[in-house]
Amino acid sequence: VTGASFVVFNGALKTSSGFLAKSSIVEDGLMVQITPETMESLRQALREKKNFKVSCGKTDSGDIKEYVDICWVEDEEKTNK
């Protein structure tokens, strides 16, 4: 689990890169590089206020160990303190 002050979603990751998605810590935030298709799915999930999971790692690796979860919560006062 990583705490961050901000999150940047970059939808310019090319499918030919060999990655599903990439995440990296930038200063005190998180940058998530995703494909344009994943970006459109993320936008739709945000519009509909649905949870969304981004799997990070190489496309040919069967063992994905890194995820970026976007979750909607009921009580905002208990989060990000």
Joined tokens for residue 67: 């995820």
- Greater pLDDT, 16 or 77: 16
Whole-number Å distance between alpha carbons of 51 and 43: 11
Q: Are 36 and 48 in contact (CB under 8 A)?
A: no
Per-residue pLDDT tens over the stretch 12-70: 999 899 899 999 999 889 999 999 999 999 999 999 999 999 999 888 877 677 899 99
Domain 6-70 has CATH 3.30.1360.220: yes
Token pair for 76: 């905002």
> Coil, helix or strand for 41?
helix
Is residue 66 within 8 A of residue 56, CB to CB? The reply is: yes
Q: Predicted confidence band at 73 (pLDDT cuts at 50, 70, 90)?
A: confident
Q: Where do the structural domains in the chain lie, given as residue ranges?
A: 6-70
Whether 11 contacts 36, CB under 8 Å = yes
